Structure 1
Amino acid sequence: MTDTGAMAERVLGAITYMVLATADADGTPWATPVWFAREGDDFYWVSRPGAQHSRNIAERPDVSLVVFDSTVAVGSASSFYARARAGLVPDGELAGGVAVFAAECDRQGIGAWTVDDVTGDAELRLYRASITAAWVLAEDGGPDRRLDVPWPAT
C-alpha cells in the first residue's frame, strides 16, 4: 500500500516553489510560480495585490496548485497537486501567517519578515491558500497517475 501522505510531505519538504493556477471572473486561466511557506493545510506567499494572480484570487478564490521538481529526468518526478481556497490573510490572522512565512524565510537565509512588510504602505501583501483536496503523482514511473492524499494533512 502506498503512503500518499508521506509522498506528499517528501515533495513539500524539498521544493519551495509552487505553480499557482487561478482564473479571472470570465474564467480566463493564469498560472504563476510563487515561493511559499507552509504550515499544515495552509500555504503562504507574498504578492502585489495588482499582480494578475492576486486580482484573479480577489474575483475567484478557488485555485489549484502543483509543487514538483522540474530538474529531474522525465518519468522520475514526484509531484503534489491540490485544490484550495485562497485570499489575503485577514488582519486578525496576519501575525500568525507572517510568523510561518518569516520562519521559512529565516530557514532559507532570505531575511526577516514582519507584519509591517505586508501592511500599510508596503507593496506586498500576505496571501494564503488553504488546501481542500490533494493528490500525488504515482512514483512507479508509469504514465500520469494521481493518487488521493488524505486531507487535511495529519
Structure 2
Amino acid sequence: MVTDSTSSPVAAAAGRILDANAYLTLATADAEGRPWATPVWFAVRDLREFIWVSRPTRRHSQNIGARAEVALAVFDSSAPVGEASAVYAEALAEQVPDDGVEDALAAFNAGCEASGMRPWAEGSVTGAAPHRLYRAVASHLWTLDEREDRVPVY
C-alpha cells in the first residue's frame, strides 16, 4: 500500500492510483531505439521504486539490459472517457543485482500479500530459476489534474 496521509495532495492522489491498479505499462527501447511497451504486475515502494518479476529472455528485459531509460504509466483502463486518472514516470530500470534481491523481494512480496497473492521465494528469482526481479527507480513522477494535465509529484 502506497497511500500516506502525511504526503502532499498530489502525492496522495498518485498513491491512491498506484494502490488501486495491479499493472503498469512499461515502455522500453532497444539499443537502436526501437520502442516496446508491455504490461507488468508490480509493487511500489515510496512512490519511487517500481518492482516486478520477469524473465530475462523477454523483449522488455533485454531492452532494459541495453538501455536503462524507461517510462511507465499506471491507469485504470475501465474508467469512462473524461474520468481518467493516471500516474506517469521517467525512470532508470535494471535487473535487481544479487546483493539487492532480499530487500527488493521483501517489497515485492509485501505487494503480493496486500493483493492476496502468494509471496515469491528467493529461489524463484535467483540461481537456475527462469525469473528475475527488476526495478525502475523514478526520477520524475506525474499524475493528472481535473483538466487531464500532468502535474508533477516530484
Scaled by the length of structure 2, what TM-score is found? 0.91
- The farther-off stretch of 105-114 and 77-86 is 105-114
Aligned position for 1:4: 10
Which segments of 5 or more consecutive residues in structure 1 lack a partner in the other structure?
none
Match 2:23 to one of 10, 13, 17: 17
- Shift of residue 108, structure 1, vs aligned partner: 1.7
Which segments of 5 or more consecutive residues in structure 2 lack a partner in the other structure?
1-7
2:36 alignment partner, SS class: strand
- Shift of residue 6, structure 1, vs aligned partner: 1.6
Aligned position for 2:68: 61
- The farther-off stretch of 56-65 and 113-122 is 113-122
Aligned position for 1:27: 33
Count residues with an aligned counterpart.
146
Q: Does 1:149 align with 2:142?
A: no
In 2: Cα distance, 1:128 partner to 1:148 partner: 21
2:123 alignment partner, SS class: helix
Match 2:94 to one of 62, 87, 92: 87
What is the one-letter code of the residue matched to 2:40?
Answer: V
Match 1:101 to one of 104, 108, 116: 108
Percent identity reads: 47
2:82 alignment partner, SS class: coil
What is the one-letter code of the residue matched to 2:50?
Answer: F
In 2: Cα distance, 1:59 partner to 1:47 partner: 16
1:113 alignment partner, SS class: coil
Q: Does 1:78 align with 2:82?
A: no
- Shift of residue 18, structure 1, vs aligned partner: 0.3
1:80 alignment partner, SS class: strand
In 2: Cα distance, 1:109 partner to 1:10 partner: 18
Scaled by the length of structure 1, what TM-score is found? 0.91
Aligned position for 2:5: none
User: What do the CA deviations read for 1:97-149 (whole angstroms, capped 9, x no partner)?
Assistant: 111111211222221212111011111000000010011111x2x3x411111
